[in-house]
Chain A
Amino acid sequence: MRTMQRLAVFATCAFATLGQPACGLDWPVSSRIITGTFGEDRGDHFHNGIDIGGGSQDVHPVLPGELVFRFDDASDYSSLPRGVGSFVVSPFLNRSTKTWYQMASFDHFGTEARFSFFASCWQHTDNKLNAVVRNSTVLIDLFIIIRLNIAYFNPPLAPPGRGIIFNFLLSPYIDLVPPWIKCKIYT
């Protein structure tokens, strides 16, 4: 059983390495604070991505994509309840992965600023996501890798803060934020 798990980990890592640029992806923000690690316990699920905070700064796309769907937290209409703040969704072109940029903590900004942010996403960057975000939290959700992780990894095999995605897809970064590890007994 353990051999199978290791084999699955190896296969996943190999797949991830083949599917992404050899040099890894650039960070979407220059000033980075990891506020949520991959695989951490969220009560009823394990975190499917990495939360990156870092204050007021530009957010750049890690891969070329096109903005497909956005949600403005100031919008007075949504058929679904949403609490993650403003966000945009940009599936990568010609790739099977997807990125979900989660833009949150806009509360001290007016509606106009939020709309101009979304306009800048679309109009000024040649259909590529490149937006100015203030005090934001960015969630990178590398879809296919996450699915593989969920499918093949037992949560203890995905080290919080320095998981597989962390090591393979992003350039090295020293995470100074100590992870908070919640124990869970698996039966």
Chain B
Amino acid sequence: MRPAEGTSTVAASVRKKRPARVLFAALLFIVFYFILFPYPLGREFVVRPKWAIPVPTSAGPTRQIDKLPAATAPNNPRDTTVPFQLGDLFGYVQGDGTVLYSGMAQYRIALSATGFVSYTRLGTDWILQDMSGRPVTSFSGSGYPFLGPEGNRIFNVKSDLSGIIELDRNGGALWERDFPTMMTAASLQGDLLLVGLLNGSMLLLDRKGSPIFEYSPKGSRIPVIVGDAVAPDGSLLAAVSGIGPQYLTVLRRQNAMTPRNATAPGFAVIAILGLPSEYRREVRISFSPDSRCLVLEGAAGPGLFDPSRGVLRWVSLHGTLAGTAWPGNGRFAALACRDSGHAQLAIEPASGVVVYREEFPARELSLATIEGQLLLGWDGQLLRIDVEAM
């Protein structure tokens, strides 16, 4: 039986319209699905210049050019004030761009978060000044002053680098330690002082100057420590050592529950990595503030070492490592290298995704972390650069 002509046309039309309706319904479903069950996508990181100020060469507080809202002004200057040094110029700047103090070093400067000592080459009497330049105390010594990062420990390093003396606030010797060969590197974090020696050994001293751990990396033709670092939480030690070949050695405290002030902590080697470099001078090496990452100077750029995975990754930058900072509240490493008047700045996380990279002419360069962001000292200027997630 042959269907009516009109019926056939309607059925065909229905068959044609049904997919369009289904498609429309599916589209609606997808739209409503994303509205009802939103999935957060990855955040994009933006490098945002916050302020830039010329560093005044005379002492005294100055304000930045562009003021920030009052809500971001610091409550306690100590919380947000960091030291900076640009060649002979040094001082203290707050997170909002207020320079608390700036001055020129007489010969060299011992700088800490809370005070400084500006000393001469042949002088023996030193004055410890606070962040505003006010004298705090004075003391004497025949070597050169060395301050802890927080400024709560004062040392006198002998001029021939053969020993170190910790001083109290009145200049009296708390303890003194001499070494069999000259010191080549030192790292101070809290109670722990790690000293690298010319004979290739590194010595960890406690608050009283007593050696609590000693280690000599092996495998090199000439043993020498050219850089060492102790992690801020005291859980890791690292050293660049030896000539022919050069090695990076990282040690971890064996018992994580051991308190930092334990009398005899044990450290075990977690990594010994051969390096392509053959430095015969001190190299920059330091841990991140959260002790999760290690930065060291390398022949083809700085290296980022992840102690938890034991992986060393090189960041391709030209020149000598000029500084390291940890912007983005410590999530990123800002690394700057300088070579014959040019500088390269890279900001990236330990995973290696480049967030920012810039090359610019620079005679002087320094990096610091201020309020969890980057403080860049550059040719007489201070710049705050924030890394924010959008």
- Please tell me if B110 contacts chain A, counting CB pairs below 8 Å: yes
Q: How many residues of B contact A (CB 8 A)?
A: 37
Interface string of B99-126 (1 = CB under 8 A from A): 0000000011010000000010110100
- Cα A128 to Cα B94 in complex, Å, equals 49
Q: Which of A68, A78, A80 contacts B280 (CB 8 A)?
A: A68
Minimal beta-carbon separation of B237 from chain A (angstroms): 14
Given contacts A43-B124, A43-B142, A71-B281, contact A89 B108 (CB under 8 A): no
- Please tell me if A70 contacts chain B, counting CB pairs below 8 Å: yes
Contact A80 B183 (CB under 8 A): yes
- Cα A89 to Cα B186 in complex, Å, equals 18
Q: Which of A71, A75, A79, A98 contacts B186 (CB 8 A)?
A: A79
Please indicate the chain A residues that have their CB under 8 angstroms from the CB of B282 in the complex.
69, 71, 77-79
- Please tell me if A110 contacts chain B, counting CB pairs below 8 Å: no
Please indicate the chain A residues that have their CB under 8 angstroms from the CB of B160 in the complex.
48, 84
Q: Which of B144, B222, B284 contacts A82 (CB 8 A)?
A: B144
8 Å CB interface, A23-37 against B? none
- Please tell me if B161 contacts chain A, counting CB pairs below 8 Å: yes
Please indicate the chain A residues that have their CB under 8 angstroms from the CB of B222 in the complex.
66, 68, 91
> Which one of B107, B144, B161, B364 has the highest number of Cβ atoms from chain A below 10 Å of its Cβ?
B161
Minimal beta-carbon separation of B342 from chain A (angstroms): 15
- Please tell me if B185 contacts chain A, counting CB pairs below 8 Å: yes
- Count A-B pairs with CB separation below 8 Å: 72
Contact B198 A89 (CB under 8 A): yes
Minimal beta-carbon separation of A71 from chain B (angstroms): 7
Interface string of A59-79 (1 = CB under 8 A from B): 000000011111110011111
Please indicate the chain A residues that have their CB under 8 angstroms from the CB of B186 in the complex.
79-80
Minimal beta-carbon separation of B17 from chain A (angstroms): 76
- Cα A84 to Cα B222 in complex, Å, equals 24
Contact B108 A81 (CB under 8 A): yes
Contact A69 B146 (CB under 8 A): no
Interface string of A119-161 (1 = CB under 8 A from B): 0001000000000000000000000000000000000000000
Given contacts A48-B160, A100-B182, contact A81 B146 (CB under 8 A): yes
Q: Which of B144, B181, B198 contacts A83 (CB 8 A)?
A: B144
Minimal beta-carbon separation of B296 from chain A (angstroms): 13
- Please tell me if B152 contacts chain A, counting CB pairs below 8 Å: no
Minimal beta-carbon separation of B86 from chain A (angstroms): 9
Contact A89 B182 (CB under 8 A): yes
Please indicate the chain A residues that have their CB under 8 angstroms from the CB of B184 in the complex.
69, 80
List 30 A-B pairs, Cβ < 8 Å: A43-B124, A45-B142, A66-B222, A68-B198, A68-B224, A68-B243, A69-B184, A69-B280, A69-B281, A71-B282, A72-B281, A76-B322, A76-B364, A79-B185, A79-B227, A79-B282, A80-B157, A80-B183, A80-B185, A80-B186, A81-B144, A81-B157, A82-B161, A83-B107, A83-B122, A84-B159, A84-B160, A89-B182, A89-B198, A91-B198
Q: Which residues of A contact B (CB under 8 A)?
A: 42-45, 48, 66-72, 75-84, 89, 91, 98, 100, 122
